[in-house]
Amino acid sequence: MSTEEAPPSRRRVNWRSLLVEVVETAVMAAAIFFAVNLVSARFRIDGASMLDTFRAGEYIVVSRFSYWYADPQRGEIVVFVPPSSTPGSMLDGMLGRAGETDFIKRVIGVPGDTVQVRDGQMFVNGTPLVEPYLPEPMLDFGGRFWEVAADQLFVLGDNRNYSKDSRDPEVGLVSRAQIVGKVWAVYFPLDSWRRVVQFVYPELAPVP
Protein backbone atom coordinates (compact mmCIF):
# COMPACT_ATOMS: atom_id res chain seq x y z
CA MET A 1 0.00 0.00 0.00
CA SER A 2 1.41 3.36 -0.91
CA THR A 3 0.38 6.95 -0.45
CA GLU A 4 0.99 9.76 -2.83
CA GLU A 5 1.85 13.26 -1.70
CA ALA A 6 0.74 16.26 -3.64
CA PRO A 7 3.54 17.70 -5.71
CA PRO A 8 5.35 20.57 -3.91
CA SER A 9 4.34 22.98 -6.65
CA ARG A 10 0.66 22.19 -6.02
CA ARG A 11 1.07 22.84 -2.29
CA ARG A 12 2.68 26.18 -3.09
CA VAL A 13 -0.23 27.10 -5.35
CA ASN A 14 -2.71 26.32 -2.55
CA TRP A 15 -0.85 28.51 -0.07
CA ARG A 16 -0.60 31.26 -2.65
CA SER A 17 -4.35 31.01 -3.31
CA LEU A 18 -5.08 31.19 0.41
CA LEU A 19 -2.85 34.24 0.77
CA VAL A 20 -4.63 35.94 -2.13
CA GLU A 21 -8.00 35.27 -0.51
CA VAL A 22 -6.81 36.69 2.82
CA VAL A 23 -5.46 39.82 1.14
CA GLU A 24 -8.65 40.29 -0.91
CA THR A 25 -10.79 39.89 2.23
CA ALA A 26 -8.64 42.39 4.14
CA VAL A 27 -8.81 44.92 1.31
CA MET A 28 -12.58 44.52 1.04
CA ALA A 29 -13.01 44.91 4.81
CA ALA A 30 -10.84 48.03 4.78
CA ALA A 31 -12.81 49.48 1.86
CA ILE A 32 -16.10 48.89 3.68
CA PHE A 33 -14.66 50.35 6.89
CA PHE A 34 -13.54 53.55 5.19
CA ALA A 35 -16.75 53.82 3.15
CA VAL A 36 -18.84 53.60 6.33
CA ASN A 37 -16.71 56.23 8.01
CA LEU A 38 -16.88 58.49 4.99
CA VAL A 39 -20.63 58.85 5.52
CA SER A 40 -20.78 58.55 9.32
CA ALA A 41 -18.87 59.37 12.51
CA ARG A 42 -19.06 58.39 16.15
CA PHE A 43 -18.76 60.68 19.15
CA ARG A 44 -18.97 60.45 22.92
CA ILE A 45 -21.26 62.85 24.80
CA ASP A 46 -19.45 64.99 27.35
CA GLY A 47 -21.14 67.46 29.68
CA ALA A 48 -24.78 68.18 30.45
CA SER A 49 -25.78 70.71 27.78
CA MET A 50 -28.17 68.26 26.03
CA LEU A 51 -29.90 66.75 29.07
CA ASP A 52 -32.31 64.98 29.11
CA THR A 53 -32.01 64.09 25.42
CA PHE A 54 -28.45 62.77 25.84
CA ARG A 55 -26.39 61.95 28.90
CA ALA A 56 -22.65 62.14 29.47
CA GLY A 57 -20.88 58.94 28.47
CA GLU A 58 -23.32 57.96 25.72
CA TYR A 59 -21.89 57.28 22.26
CA ILE A 60 -23.70 58.55 19.18
CA VAL A 61 -23.62 57.87 15.45
CA VAL A 62 -23.61 60.98 13.26
CA SER A 63 -24.67 60.91 9.62
CA ARG A 64 -22.20 62.93 7.56
CA PHE A 65 -24.15 62.55 4.31
CA SER A 66 -27.56 63.79 5.55
CA TYR A 67 -26.73 67.35 4.57
CA TRP A 68 -25.09 66.47 1.27
CA TYR A 69 -28.55 66.49 -0.30
CA ALA A 70 -30.71 68.49 2.17
CA ASP A 71 -30.51 71.54 4.39
CA PRO A 72 -30.60 71.32 8.20
CA GLN A 73 -34.13 71.79 9.53
CA ARG A 74 -35.45 73.27 12.76
CA GLY A 75 -35.53 70.71 15.54
CA GLU A 76 -32.73 68.53 14.15
CA ILE A 77 -29.78 67.67 16.37
CA VAL A 78 -26.35 68.28 14.85
CA VAL A 79 -22.68 67.99 15.71
CA PHE A 80 -20.55 70.95 14.67
CA VAL A 81 -17.12 72.46 15.14
CA PRO A 82 -17.28 75.84 16.93
CA PRO A 83 -15.00 78.64 15.67
CA SER A 84 -12.48 78.26 18.52
CA SER A 85 -12.13 74.50 18.12
CA THR A 86 -9.55 72.31 16.46
CA PRO A 87 -11.53 69.94 14.21
CA GLY A 88 -11.21 66.23 14.85
CA SER A 89 -9.78 64.07 12.07
CA MET A 90 -11.73 61.32 10.31
CA LEU A 91 -9.79 58.86 12.49
CA ASP A 92 -11.15 60.64 15.57
CA GLY A 93 -14.66 60.18 14.21
CA MET A 94 -14.02 56.50 13.50
CA LEU A 95 -12.83 55.89 17.05
CA GLY A 96 -15.53 57.90 18.79
CA ARG A 97 -13.26 60.78 19.72
CA ALA A 98 -14.49 64.31 19.25
CA GLY A 99 -12.27 67.16 18.15
CA GLU A 100 -10.95 69.57 20.74
CA THR A 101 -14.45 70.86 21.53
CA ASP A 102 -16.95 69.54 18.98
CA PHE A 103 -20.46 70.54 20.06
CA ILE A 104 -23.83 68.81 19.86
CA LYS A 105 -26.88 71.11 19.75
CA ARG A 106 -30.42 71.41 18.39
CA VAL A 107 -31.20 73.61 15.38
CA ILE A 108 -33.69 76.31 16.35
CA GLY A 109 -33.32 78.90 13.58
CA VAL A 110 -32.54 78.49 9.88
CA PRO A 111 -31.68 81.10 7.22
CA GLY A 112 -34.29 83.87 7.13
CA ASP A 113 -35.54 83.26 10.69
CA THR A 114 -35.62 85.80 13.50
CA VAL A 115 -35.01 84.13 16.86
CA GLN A 116 -35.79 85.76 20.20
CA VAL A 117 -35.67 84.84 23.89
CA ARG A 118 -38.35 86.71 25.84
CA ASP A 119 -39.47 86.02 29.40
CA GLY A 120 -37.75 82.64 29.29
CA GLN A 121 -39.58 81.63 26.09
CA MET A 122 -38.10 80.96 22.65
CA PHE A 123 -39.76 82.70 19.72
CA VAL A 124 -39.06 82.03 16.04
CA ASN A 125 -40.48 84.61 13.64
CA GLY A 126 -42.71 85.84 16.47
CA THR A 127 -44.17 82.40 17.22
CA PRO A 128 -43.51 80.80 20.64
CA LEU A 129 -41.95 77.36 20.41
CA VAL A 130 -43.42 74.35 22.17
CA GLU A 131 -40.39 72.46 23.49
CA PRO A 132 -41.34 69.38 25.55
CA TYR A 133 -37.73 68.15 25.61
CA LEU A 134 -36.52 70.94 27.95
CA PRO A 135 -35.60 69.59 31.42
CA GLU A 136 -36.42 72.91 33.13
CA PRO A 137 -37.64 76.44 32.33
CA MET A 138 -35.15 78.62 30.50
CA LEU A 139 -33.65 81.71 32.11
CA ASP A 140 -34.50 85.03 30.50
CA PHE A 141 -32.04 86.69 28.13
CA GLY A 142 -33.53 90.18 28.25
CA GLY A 143 -35.50 89.99 25.01
CA ARG A 144 -32.43 89.52 22.82
CA PHE A 145 -33.00 88.50 19.22
CA TRP A 146 -30.90 87.15 16.39
CA GLU A 147 -31.44 87.29 12.63
CA VAL A 148 -30.22 84.14 10.88
CA ALA A 149 -28.39 84.91 7.65
CA ALA A 150 -27.89 82.69 4.60
CA ASP A 151 -25.83 79.54 5.23
CA GLN A 152 -26.10 79.99 9.00
CA LEU A 153 -27.96 78.24 11.82
CA PHE A 154 -29.05 79.26 15.31
CA VAL A 155 -28.46 76.31 17.65
CA LEU A 156 -29.21 75.69 21.33
CA GLY A 157 -28.58 72.97 23.88
CA ASP A 158 -31.68 71.32 25.33
CA ASN A 159 -30.40 72.01 28.84
CA ARG A 160 -30.61 75.74 28.14
CA ASN A 161 -29.38 77.05 31.48
CA TYR A 162 -26.16 75.01 31.21
CA SER A 163 -25.39 75.24 27.51
CA LYS A 164 -22.83 77.24 25.58
CA ASP A 165 -24.51 77.81 22.22
CA SER A 166 -25.56 80.46 19.70
CA ARG A 167 -26.56 82.82 22.51
CA ASP A 168 -22.88 83.04 23.45
CA PRO A 169 -20.78 85.40 21.28
CA GLU A 170 -17.92 82.88 21.41
CA VAL A 171 -20.12 80.40 19.53
CA GLY A 172 -22.61 82.60 17.70
CA LEU A 173 -24.45 81.55 14.58
CA VAL A 174 -23.11 78.33 13.07
CA SER A 175 -22.17 78.17 9.39
CA ARG A 176 -22.94 75.18 7.19
CA ALA A 177 -19.19 74.62 6.82
CA GLN A 178 -18.93 73.94 10.56
CA ILE A 179 -21.51 71.15 10.53
CA VAL A 180 -20.17 67.59 10.87
CA GLY A 181 -23.55 65.92 10.46
CA LYS A 182 -26.95 65.00 11.91
CA VAL A 183 -27.19 62.76 14.97
CA TRP A 184 -28.75 59.44 13.97
CA ALA A 185 -28.62 57.11 16.98
CA VAL A 186 -27.20 56.32 20.41
CA TYR A 187 -25.33 53.02 20.19
CA PHE A 188 -23.61 52.69 23.57
CA PRO A 189 -24.18 51.76 26.37
CA LEU A 190 -26.19 48.95 24.84
CA ASP A 191 -29.09 49.39 27.26
CA SER A 192 -29.37 53.01 26.06
CA TRP A 193 -29.45 52.14 22.33
CA ARG A 194 -32.08 54.18 20.51
CA ARG A 195 -32.80 55.91 17.24
CA VAL A 196 -32.76 59.69 17.62
CA VAL A 197 -36.10 61.20 16.64
CA GLN A 198 -35.72 64.66 15.12
CA PHE A 199 -38.26 67.08 16.57
CA VAL A 200 -40.69 69.05 14.39
CA TYR A 201 -42.34 72.35 15.35
CA PRO A 202 -45.86 72.20 13.86
CA GLU A 203 -46.56 75.72 15.11
CA LEU A 204 -44.01 77.14 12.64
CA ALA A 205 -44.52 77.66 8.94
CA PRO A 206 -42.50 75.16 6.86
CA VAL A 207 -39.14 76.34 5.57
CA PRO A 208 -39.60 77.38 1.91
70-105 as b/e: b if 16+ CB within 10 A: eebbbbbbbbbbbeebebbeeebbbeeebbeebbbb
What's the maximum distance between 2 C-alpha atoms anywhere in the chain?
A: 100
Alpha helices in 50-137 (DSSP H): 90-95
Could you read off the pLDDT of 48-58 as tens digits, one per residue? 999 999 999 99
Average pLDDT of the segment spanning 69-89 = 83
Q: How many C-beta atoms surround the C-beta of residue 122 within 10 A?
A: 22
Active site residues: 49, 105
pLDDT of residue 207: 81
pLDDT value of residue 95: 47
Q: Mean pLDDT over all residues of the chain?
A: 83
- pLDDT at residue number 34: 57
Radius of gyration of the chain (CA): 24
Bridge partner list, 127: 124
Fold exhibited by the domain 41-195: Umud Fragment, subunit A (2.10.109)
Residue-level pLDDT at 41: 86
Q: Is the pLDDT of residue 88 over 70?
A: no
